[in-house]
Amino acid sequence: MPTARRAFIGGAMASVFVGCDWSRALRSQTVGSPWLGWRPGEYQVHFIHTGRCESSFHIFPDGTSMLLDCGTANGKRSKYTLPSAPDATREPGEQVARYVLAVNPNGDRVDYMMSSHWHVDHVGADEPDYVAPGTSPIGCGRSGFGQAAEFLHFTKAIDRSWPDFNDPVPIATRETRHMRKVYEALQRRDGLSVEKFRLGATDQIVPLHGSVSGFACRNICVNGRIALPDGTVRDALKEHLAERPKSRIDENTLSLGMIMSYGRFRFFTAGDALGRFFEDALADAVEHCHVSKTNHHAHVSMTPRLVQKLASRYWINLVWDSRQSMPSVMRTLADRTLYSGDRTIIPCFLPPERRAADVGEAWLKDVPEAVFEPCHVVLSVSDGGEYYTVSCLGAMENDFVIRAQFSERT
């Protein structure tokens, strides 16, 4: 692939940000024009497509930043493996970091780092197949968050099971070994603080650089437990194990989740939350959200009850395998009997083999053609939350040119 397409910092992409008029960031833009970046007062979520992991980068209205998930994949390929974006010359952790450096108003300083749960595609792993060649300059595995930390500095980490990794059961895996080393390396280098995710809290993930009226993050689930709107906590996993004591505890079900609000606007994200018993229970904790990230890459997830409660106008799905954006899940997201009205389903990539296999499916009309090629997806919410846009930017070119853009009023 030509060097110009690989250069994620500098070259064509850097020129997008030179002389940007930030005051125009939420005005209508034409397809083919440069995306205009972040401006103070906006809330943004960047769904970063590498083809090999899940990662999203949040910029709060005051410029506070949060990297949620940063994983990797092993080097083995199968018929389901998606192309690496923009190419395979760099590992996902580095690609994510380079993206963050391009859009972060605070350069290489990121305020929060957080993993939704302990799986390799969300955090990286301490095993040879998942670690990039070479020696880490900071003393941890060159994988996922560990590799991103070679380029980025972090202030605070929020973890689902800190400090002893035993909630709800002890866990010792390639992922926890890796992240222990990452935390230790960043505590030495950056003075990183680490704290446990507080279920039900609205004062843990907050703007750090200035006051923001009407902006909040509500912690709604973690470790199989769900914080209900009345202040009570439901332990859905404990209930499930009482009914089915031989069931395996799925790490995905332990994912942490939040609802971000800004004025009237709502955004939902809950990692790989999985299991009908859990997602149906989670429905009692959520409300209508204008934009939602699908659970578990839209694979064996998103029960009708949860979809009906969220009733989102836009569904965004981070993918790294062609079996994700599963047809049965896509049908549920598109089902007008669950809730009425338009909706747009945006996987960061819907590969040609999937489109061929799914030809004739009604849900395909809800998927924009822009994602027939790999895309980063950017959610931008206006000052006060009255308007929002969803933009698709080419992930193979990394030029921050708009492939499609959708604008809505809350």
* pLDDT tens digits, 121-157: 999 999 999 999 999 999 999 999 999 999 999 999 9
Q: Which H or E element spans position 304?
A: helix 304-310
Across all residues in the chain, what is the average pLDDT? 92
Q: What percent of the chain has pLDDT over 90?
A: 90
d(CA 268, CA 131): 31
For the ranges 14-28, 263-277, 324-338, 394-408, which has the lowest average pLDDT? 14-28
Structural domain boundaries, residue 226: 3-409
Partner residues linked to 257 by β-bridges: 221
Residue 17 has pLDDT above 50, yes or no: no
Burial 201-214 (b: 16+ CB within 10 A, else e): eeebbbbeeeebee
Across the range 326-336, mean pLDDT stands at: 98
Average pLDDT over residues 225-233: 97
Contacts of 58 (CB under 8 A, 6+ apart): 43, 44, 45, 46, 65, 66, 67, 68, 260
Quote the pLDDT of residue 344: 98
Q: What is the pLDDT of residue 236?
A: 98
Number of domains the chain is built from: 1
Q: Indicate whether 260 pLDDT > 70.
A: yes
| Percentage of the chain exceeding pLDDT 70 | 93
Element (H, E) at 120: helix 120-123
Residue 23 has pLDDT above 70, yes or no: no
pLDDT score recorded for residue 170: 95
Task: Report the run of H or E that residue 148 belongs to, with start and end.
Answer: helix 145-148
CATH number where 355 lies? 3.60.15.10
Does residue 286 surpass a pLDDT of 80?
yes
What pLDDT sits at residue 76?
A: 78
- Return the sign of the alpha-carbon dihedral for residues 107, 111, 115, 120: positive
pLDDT tens digits for range 80-122: 999 999 999 999 999 999 999 999 999 999 999 999 999 999 9
Mean pLDDT, range 36-63, rounded to an integer: 97
Residue 26's pLDDT band (cuts 50, 70, 90): low
Q: Is the dihedral of CA 312, 318, 301, 236 positive or negative?
A: negative
Helices (H), 206-303: 236-243, 276-282
Query: Does the pLDDT value for residue 355 go beyond 60?
Result: yes
Find, among 339, 317, 216, 336, the residue nearest to 269 by Cα. 317
pLDDT of residue 6: 28
**Residue 75 confidence (pLDDT):** 76
Confidence of residue 207 (pLDDT cuts 50, 70, 90): very high
